[in-house]
Structure 1
Amino acid sequence: MTATEQRFREFKMPDVGEGLTEAEILKWYVQPGDTVTDGQVICEVETAKAAVELPCPYEGVVHAVHFEEGATVDVGTSIIAVDTDPGAGPAEAAAPAAAAEPAPAADEEDAEPQGRQAVLVGYGAAPSSTKRRARKPQPGAAAQEPAAAAVQAELNGHAAAPAPAAPAASPAAPVPSASPAAVPVAGRPLAKPPVRKLAKDLGIDLATVTPTGPDGVITREDVHAAAAPAPAPEASAPAVAPAATAPSSGSEAVRARETRIPIKGVRKATAQAMVNSAFTAPHVTEFITVDVTRTMKLVQELKQDPDMAGLRVNPLLLVAKALLVAIKRNPEISAAWDEENQEIVRKDYVNLGIAAATPRGLIVPNIKDADAKTLPQLAAALGELVTTAREGKTAPGDMAGGTITITNVGVFGVDTGTPILNPGEPAILAMGAVKLQPWVHKGKVKPRQVTTLALSFDHRLVDGELGSKVLADTAAILEQPKRLITWA
């Protein structure tokens, strides 16, 4: 490592989940010039699983922040540079290590001859107009290769000529960063690696995209705009008077009343997981309606119990406990389907997932070894899980390794549903709303508190008999809560 690299340390986007490839920067807590310490939180990022705060591994002064808030950054890409020896002199005396690296040639279009064109911060010379322009190499530099020397001589010749602009055959001329229009067509378009990847995936040539970002940088929105189908041209319609001709289909008026939200982060991962689950595991859903009047009475009694003081006590707690007892009576349901090895993996533990709706999308954190917890311990774990999820602080590890899930649609007043399995899990239980309904009780029709449960399961490893037993046992416990004692 050179002295410059030792001084200017680049912090790269880490893989904060399990094999994630990118993360979006939600918020920066530091800016260039701020002093940072080892372990200090410098930013918050959102992965496909959760929002995570990143601590700085270096101590010093922030030299540069390479991405703005809202940018999606590939794992392994430098996001911030820290000057670990700010007392050594002006920062201009040495550039960060990342600035010495050429921009990666991610696409075939990047193989075009390059000159001294400015590239993105963190991938080459900084394009910001607040920094000095890169100095031209001296004509007498002895280390230049023959081809490079010829190009340099040509550049120097153009610089001395009175012509106002370089000829079209010389794309290597320095590019001013005053405006996007100043970027030469033959030059390498400015775009961050995630944007280049997006363009490649969409089959878009970046050289044909009009940049709108600062200093002529192509943004994700520019690529999407270039990928959008062009409106059908009107026959012989004058371009100078579009207002005189009404849109043929009214699509412009419709778009003006629409809001488009990019699919990313947790919502993107959830959507992909649900599609994979729905079209991989054969779903079967069974329903049962049960009288939970005694369970609701027990909830009220537990709220007054000194052993449950300060804990969240609600119907979901007893539904969770009932399901755990039902799994203990039918342990075969605690399993997973291993497609690669063609095996059914039985699990002697239950990591109980609870589906939680958050502003960033649906997440399913789970309570590790929930089957081994007492009722007070389970209540404490549920309360912590819900609070953490609402704050958006659920760690990726808390969402990994789930074995079965509960989704409480009853909080929205919904009777029941057909839930989709959390990928890799054998079953998911939906709890409906508890409502006062007429019910036959001890031979008479009386108003009772009733709910409907729905259990979806993977029919590859859970047959109808096993799924029915688990659902029936869960309902039986909620109808007669004393079975929590006799069956446990």
Structure 2
Amino acid sequence: MTATMIKEFRLPDLGEGLTESEILSWKVAVGDTVTLNQVIAEVETAKAVVELPSPFAGVVAELHEQPGTVVEVGKPIVSFEVDDAGSSNGGGAPAAGDRSAGDRSVVDTAANGAPAAVAAEAVGSPAKREPNLVGYGAVVEHSGRPTRRARGNVQDGKSLTPEAPAIAEPVVSRQADVASERPRSTPPVRKLARDLGIDLQLVPGTGQGGLITREDVQSYIGAAETAQATPVSDGQNERESRTPIKGVRKFTAAAMVQSAFTAPHVTEFLTVDVTATMELLARLKGNKAFEGYKLTPLTIAAKAVLVALRNNPTLNSRWDEASQEIVQFNYVNLGIAAATPRGLTVPNIKDADRLTLRELSTALTDLTDTARAGKTSPSELSGGTISITNIGVFGIDAGTPILNPGEAAIVALGAVRKAPWVVNDELAVRQVMSLSLSFDHRLVDGEQGSRFLADLGAILADPAMVMTMI
């Protein structure tokens, strides 16, 4: 009979050196059989919601953390019962602690694959690792898909070793413990509660077995709003609510503080007559070549920024503090600030300078849809070179945007408004927009920033000016 072993999967670094993630939901339960790279959990990093794949094929032995828990990178989150390939193929020496040559369980770990590889070498099997969504996590097992096993206390008539106490605990008692640790609800309901800042411990469940439903959360909100209008007698102020600072909001706050106190910001403003741009936009929407494409003032403005950068490349750079060098980018990863239910994110369009207007339109649509759905990947949130924030969609005319860390400039687009404007020495009603440009004065001189802003304004005032810049 093939021996089994317990392998722990530790929370990996999901990118950008992140130190912690929140378990949003588990896609598996104790006793489930999983395959390599099967999605087992949904976690929220400081930047994005990520689906976590299994680094092993086997049976889920234990879930170490519950949904809603913030876990540090490197901490075990789930254990698997897998076939002990090293013992079953008869090759190599038994792993440390496996004194009975394969008839006892061995505890192994996996955190981006390194400990698993070491364990593979220890049992004499080749440390060939299979790539997955979080790196190289699993040593390839050449046995078939494990069958679902009961987590009993004996195996082949012998007791399991103390090294694997996790699988000696009956499933029933584990489920009872889990039920007592947190209120019963579904992942969508828990997400709704998090978004609304509601502690599910305070919400009574009316579903089967005390399950908390979406309606229960909404009813609790209604009751809380009613209570806000009535002073309480015990002196507690229930008209306030507290939301833990974590995830995207925590990351954004830290990044903005770092940026504000590291890079010397300068902000310049320019108000432009964009009537010609709005007329161009109307013509493009009626053009069959752009049928099915979503065109907005942001689309044209983004293209204008990319063109203006050609003559003003210093704004597409970063300051390398460690090497004391200015890094000039020969490509443009255009960041677009997006307001999402999880907070502000700035995903970027890779190599945006190589895209046509139609390709740029598609990329902007995909970017915003993905961000609002909370599906932006960490790779899409890193590597930006310059950013745009469209504050005009909120009816705001101008602002002083803070630089995205690692970038030299950010452009804020104001609202397009009808306003009196002097045209050919006569007063006319025109469509105008205010542009705000913040830049890092270590990298960009006032003249360089001003020339870029002037070029951007010239393109938006007369799109035909592009012909003189390319």
Q: TM-score, normalised by structure 1?
A: 0.67
2:39 maps to 1:41: yes
Return the letter of the residue paired with 1:281: A
| Residue 19 of structure 1: how far off its partner (Å) | 1.2
| Residue 93 of structure 1: how far off its partner (Å) | 3.0
Distance 1:349 1:360, change over 3 A: same
| Residue 420 of structure 1: how far off its partner (Å) | 0.3
Aligned to 2:301: 319
Contact map agreement 1:23 1:73 (CA 8 A) in 2: yes
Contact map agreement 2:316 2:386 (CA 8 A) in 1: yes
Return the letter of the residue paired with 2:59: V
Contact map agreement 2:337 2:389 (CA 8 A) in 1: yes
Which secondary structure state, in structure 2, belongs to the residue aligned with residue 255 of structure 1?
coil
Return 49-58 or 445-454, whichever deviates more: 49-58
| Residue 338 of structure 1: how far off its partner (Å) | 1.2
| Residue 45 of structure 1: how far off its partner (Å) | 0.3
Return the letter of the residue paired with 2:173: T
User: Which residue, out of 53, 56, 59, partners 2:54?
Assistant: 56
Which secondary structure state, in structure 1, belongs to the residue aligned with residue 245 of structure 2?
coil
Aligned to 1:292: 274
| Residue 79 of structure 1: how far off its partner (Å) | 1.4
Contact map agreement 2:304 2:459 (CA 8 A) in 1: yes
**Distance of 1:316 and 1:476 partners within structure 2:** 16
**Distance of 2:59 and 2:162 partners within structure 1:** 17
User: Which residue, out of 326, 330, 333, partners 1:348?
Assistant: 330
Aligned to 2:163: 100
Which secondary structure state, in structure 2, belongs to the residue aligned with residue 276 of structure 1?
helix
- Give the gaps of 5 or more residues in structure 1: 102-120, 133-175, 181-211, 213-249
The list of structure 1 runs, each at least 4 consecutive aligned residues, that deviate by more than 4 angstroms after superposition, is: 85-89, 124-129
2:410 maps to 1:428: yes
Contact map agreement 1:25 1:69 (CA 8 A) in 2: yes
| Residue 131 of structure 1: how far off its partner (Å) | 5.9
User: Which residue, out of 77, 80, 88, partners 1:79?
Assistant: 77
**Distance of 1:401 and 1:126 partners within structure 2:** 46
**Distance of 1:403 and 1:333 partners within structure 2:** 9
Aligned to 1:91: 151
2:459 maps to 1:477: yes
Aligned to 2:206: none
User: Which residue, out of 9, 26, 29, partners 2:27?
Assistant: 29
| Residue 268 of structure 1: how far off its partner (Å) | 0.3
Identity %: 56
| Residue 33 of structure 1: how far off its partner (Å) | 2.7
Aligned to 1:373: 355
CA offsets 1:54-76 (integer angstroms, 9 cap, x no match)? 11233333222211110111212
**Distance of 1:38 and 1:61 partners within structure 2:** 11
CA offsets 1:254-290 (integer angstroms, 9 cap, x no match)? 5322111000011100000000000011100000000
Which secondary structure state, in structure 2, belongs to the residue aligned with residue 450 of structure 1?
strand
2:341 maps to 1:281: no
CA offsets 1:103-151 (integer angstroms, 9 cap, x no match)? xxxxxxxxxxxxxxxxxx97x986998169xxxxxxxxxxxxxxxxxxx
Contact map agreement 1:48 1:268 (CA 8 A) in 2: yes
| Residue 299 of structure 1: how far off its partner (Å) | 1.0
Aligned to 1:446: 428
Return the letter of the residue paired with 1:480: D
Which secondary structure state, in structure 2, belongs to the residue aligned with residue 91 of structure 1?
coil
**Distance of 2:332 and 2:233 partners within structure 1:** 52
Contact map agreement 1:64 1:81 (CA 8 A) in 2: yes
CA offsets 1:204-261 (integer angstroms, 9 cap, x no match)? xxxxxxxx9xxxxxxxxxxxxxxxxxxxxxxxxxxxxxxxxxxxxx997353221110
Aligned to 2:394: 412
Distance 1:127 1:324, change over 3 A: same
**Distance of 1:37 and 1:23 partners within structure 2:** 23
Contact map agreement 1:12 1:78 (CA 8 A) in 2: yes
**Distance of 1:47 and 1:389 partners within structure 2:** 14
Superposition pairs of residues 210-359 of structure 1, within 5 angstroms = 253=235, 255-359=237-341
| Residue 16 of structure 1: how far off its partner (Å) | 1.1
Distance 1:265 1:80, change over 3 A: same
Contact map agreement 1:99 1:126 (CA 8 A) in 2: no
Return the letter of the residue paired with 1:93: N
Return the letter of the residue paired with 1:399: L
Which secondary structure state, in structure 1, belongs to the residue aligned with residue 353 of structure 2?
helix
Contact map agreement 2:33 2:148 (CA 8 A) in 1: no
Distance 1:396 1:99, change over 3 A: farther
* Structure possessing the higher radius of gyration over alpha carbons: 1
Return the letter of the residue paired with 1:84: V
| Residue 471 of structure 1: how far off its partner (Å) | 0.6
**Distance of 1:94 and 1:392 partners within structure 2:** 45
Contact map agreement 2:37 2:53 (CA 8 A) in 1: yes
Superposition pairs of residues 120-199 of structure 1, within 5 angstroms = 130=173
Superposition pairs of residues 394-409 of structure 1, within 5 angstroms = 394-409=376-391
Aligned to 1:137: none
Distance 1:291 1:272, change over 3 A: same
Which secondary structure state, in structure 2, belongs to the residue aligned with residue 478 of structure 1?
helix
Aligned to 2:121: none
Distance 1:77 1:305, change over 3 A: same
Contact map agreement 1:17 1:47 (CA 8 A) in 2: no
Distance 1:375 1:251, change over 3 A: farther
Contact map agreement 1:66 1:78 (CA 8 A) in 2: yes
Return the letter of the residue paired with 1:430: A
**Distance of 1:327 and 1:99 partners within structure 2:** 64
Return the letter of the residue paired with 2:390: N
**Distance of 2:332 and 2:174 partners within structure 1:** 57
Which secondary structure state, in structure 2, belongs to the residue aligned with residue 81 of structure 1?
strand
Return the letter of the residue paired with 1:288: L
Return the letter of the residue paired with 2:257: V
- Give the gaps of 5 or more residues in structure 2: 84-145, 182-200, 202-231
**Distance of 1:98 and 1:308 partners within structure 2:** 68
Which secondary structure state, in structure 2, belongs to the residue aligned with residue 279 of structure 1?
helix
Return the letter of the residue paired with 2:311: R
| Residue 90 of structure 1: how far off its partner (Å) | 3.5
Return the letter of the residue paired with 1:348: N
